[in-house]
C-alpha cells in the first residue's frame, strides 16, 4: 500500500523526514530501510496534527495560550493543559485523515493489536532530547481504539510536563508538532534496551544489554530491575552477567492495554536472554551503529517465536557530548611510547 498525504509507511520515510514524521518515526523508517527488523507500521504525519490544531485555533486560541505561560507557573500550566488536552482529545478528525489512517491500519494488521506511539518533532533531536515525555499506548485493538489513541498522543503534547519543558527551554509553539506511529505490537517474551557503548565508562568496545520478561515498558519505566549483560562489541565475550530478581512483568491485558503480572518463582531469577540471543543483539547493535556512524541507545524486543525486533534507536548523548583528551598521540620516535611504562608515576 502506498504512502499518502497524511500517512507514511516506514519503508518510505527516513531521518531526513523528521520535520514531517517526528524523530521516532524517522528513526524507525531509517532502520527499516537499513534492513533492520522493525515491527511493521506507518506514521500519521504531522500534517494531520496541523489540520486538527488549525481547526481548533479557528474555534479558540491554542498556541498563544501556551506561549503566554510562565515556566514556573505550575497552576497556570495545569489549567491550560487540562483545557487543551480535552479539546485535542475530542476534536473531530478531518475526513481524509480518518480515511487514510483506517485504510493503513486495516492494511497493516486488520484486528491485530498495535502500539500507538507519539513521535514529536522535537523528540530525539540531538540537542534537546526529551524522549519519554510523550505517551506510548501498547496493545491497542480495533480501529476505533487506534483513532482514539492517535488523538491521545496528540493530546500528550499538552501534558503538564511537556508544556513545562517547552516553556522552560523557550521552544516556540509553532515549531512543535506531533506525528504518531502506529505499529504492529510485538508479543514480547523478553524486552529491554541496549547501549552500544558502556554507560559507566563510555567504552565503545562493549555493548550493555538490559532486559526483563514481557513487554519493554517495565524496563523503560524502571518498574523491574533488569538482567544486565556486558558483551564485547567485537569479540562477543560476555564479561558481565548480573541476573536480577525480576518479580513482575508487563503483559497484554485481555481488553487491550498492558497489565502487570507477578512472575512465578521458577522464572524470576532465570536469565531472560540466552547467549545466542545476546550475540544476535550484538550483531544488530553493531549494524545499527555502523549505519548511523555513532554509538546508539536501542530498544528491542524478542517475540514468542524468538525473533528480535528493534523498537527504537537514537544516538547516545551523554558520553558523546564529553570532551576527551586523546589517549596518546603518535611520536616521531615510536620507541618513546614505552616511557609511559618505564618513565615513572602514571
Partner 1 sequence: MERKKSNETKARAGFPLPSSLSVTPGTERAQAAYPYYMQFAKADDERFWFYNSMHFPEPMCAFDMVTAEAAYCALGASNTRVHCLPTTKGIDYRIINGRVYIGGVAVTDPREIAERTEEFHKRAFYYYANWEKLYAQWKDKMRALIAEANALPVPALPALEPLENVQAGKGIASNHKLLEIYQKTLDGYFRMWHYHFEFLLLGYGAYMTFFDFCKKAFPEIPDQTVARMVAGMEAEIFRPDDEVKRLARRAVELGLEGKFADAAKVDDVLKSLEQMGPPGQEWLKELETSRHPWFNINVGDGFYHYHRSWNDDLSMPFAAIPGYIEKIKAGETLERPIEKLMDERKQLIADYRELLDTDEERAAYDQMIHLAHRVFPYVEGHKFYCEHWYTNLFFNKIREFGALLGAHGFFSDTEDVFQLTHFELEQAIIDLMTSWSTGSPPRGPSYWPAIVKERRAAIAKWATTETPPALGPVPDVIDDPAIVMLWGITRESLDAWLTAGDTADSRDIKGFAASSGVAEGTARVVKSVDEISRLKQGDILVCQVTNPTWAPIFQKISAAVSDIGGSMSHAAIVAREYGLPAVVGTGTATQRIKDGQRIRVDGGRGVVTILSA
- Rounded (5°) CA angle 156-118-177: 75
Of residues 22 through 51, those in contact with partner 1 by CB under 8 A are: none
**SS3 call for 149:** helix
- For residue 244, the minimal CB distance to partner 1 (Å) is 16
- For residue 239, the minimal CB distance to partner 1 (Å) is 5
| Separation between Cα atoms, residue 164 and residue 169, nearest integer Å | 9
By beta-carbon proximity to partner 1, the closer residue of 82 and 240 is 240
Of residues 227 through 286, those in contact with partner 1 by CB under 8 A are: 230, 232-235, 237-241, 275
| Separation between Cα atoms, residue 314 and residue 334, nearest integer Å | 39
Residues 82/188, Cβ–Cβ less than 8 Å: no
Of residues 187 through 226, those in contact with partner 1 by CB under 8 A are: 198, 200-206
Pairing of strands 41-44, 114-120: unpaired
- For residue 147, the minimal CB distance to partner 1 (Å) is 46
- For residue 205, the minimal CB distance to partner 1 (Å) is 4
- For residue 225, the minimal CB distance to partner 1 (Å) is 19
By beta-carbon proximity to partner 1, the closer residue of 135 and 316 is 316
Q: Which residues contact 187 (CB under 8 A, 6 or more apart)?
A: 252, 303, 304
Report the Cα 201 to chain-centroid distance in Å.
23
By beta-carbon proximity to partner 1, the closer residue of 96 and 339 is 339
| Separation between Cα atoms, residue 247 and residue 147, nearest integer Å | 34
Task: Confirm or reject binding of residue 330 to partner 1 (CB under 8 A).
Answer: yes
By beta-carbon proximity to partner 1, the closer residue of 5 and 283 is 283
- Rounded (5°) CA angle 35-41-42: 110
Interface size with partner 1, residues (CB under 8 A): 38
Positions touching partner 1 (CB under 8 A) are 198, 200-206, 230, 232-235, 237-241, 275, 324, 326-331, 334-335, 337-346
Amino acid at each position: 500500500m502506498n504512502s499518502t498525504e497524511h500517512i507514511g509507511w516506514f519503508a518510505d520515510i527516513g531521518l531526513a523526514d523528521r520535520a514531517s514524521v517526528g524523530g521516532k518515526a524517522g528513526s524507525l523508517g531509517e532502520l527499516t530501510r537499513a534492513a533492520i527488523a522493525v515491527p511493521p507500521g506507518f506514521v500519521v504525519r504531522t500534517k494531520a496534527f496541523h489540520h486538527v490544531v488549525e481547526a481548533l485555533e479557528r474555534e479558540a486560541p491554542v498556541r498563544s495560550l501556551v506561549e503566554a505561560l510562565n515556566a514556573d507557573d505550575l497552576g497556570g500550566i495545569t489549567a491550560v493543559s487540562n483545557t487543551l488536552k480535552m479539546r485535542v482529545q475530542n476534536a473531530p478528525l478531518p475526513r481524509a485523515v480518518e480515511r487514510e489512517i483506517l485504510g493503513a491500519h486495516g492494511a497493516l494488521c486488520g484486528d491485530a493489536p498495535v502500539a500507538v506511539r507519539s513521535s514529536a518533532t522535537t523528540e530525539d533531536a540531538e540537542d534537546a532530547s526529551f524522549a519519554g515525555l510523550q505517551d506510548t499506548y501498547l496493545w491497542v485493538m480495533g480501529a476505533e481504539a487506534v483513532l482514539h489513541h492517535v488523538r491521545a498522543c496528540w493530546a500528550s503534547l499538552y501534558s503538564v510536563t511537556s508544556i513545562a519543558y517547552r516553556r522552560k527551554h523557550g521552544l516556540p509553539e509553532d515549531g512543535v508538532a506531533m506525528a504518531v506511529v502506529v505499529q504492529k505490537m510485538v508479543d514480547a517474551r523478553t524486552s529491554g534496551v541496549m547501549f552500544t557503548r558502556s554507560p559507566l565508562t563510555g567504552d565503545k568496545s562493549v555493548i550493555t544489554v538490559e532486559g526483563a520478561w514481557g513487554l519493554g515498558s517495565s524496563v523503560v519505566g524502571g518498574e523491574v530491575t533488569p538482567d544486565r549483560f556486558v558483551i564485547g562489541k567485537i569479540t562477543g565475550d560476555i564479561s558481565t552477567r548480573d541476573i536480577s530478581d525480576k518479580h513482575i512483568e508487563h503483559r497484554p491485558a485481555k481488553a487491550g492495554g498492558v497489565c502487570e503480572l507477578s512472575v512465578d518463582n521458577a522464572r524470576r531469577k532465570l536469565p531472560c536472554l540466552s547467549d545466542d540471543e545476546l550475540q544476535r543483539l550484538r550483531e544488530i547493535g553493531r549494524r545499527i551503529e555502523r549505519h548511523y556512524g555513532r554509538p546508539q541507545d536501542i530498544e528491542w524486543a524478542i517475540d514468542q517465536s524468538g525473533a528480535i525486533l528493534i523498537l527504537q534507536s537514537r544516538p547516545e548523548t551523554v558520553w558523546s557530548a564529553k570532551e576527551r583528551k586523546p589517549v596518546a598521540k603518535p611520536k616521531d620516535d615510536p620507541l618513546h611510547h614505552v616511557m609511559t611504562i618505564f618513565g615513572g608515576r602514571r
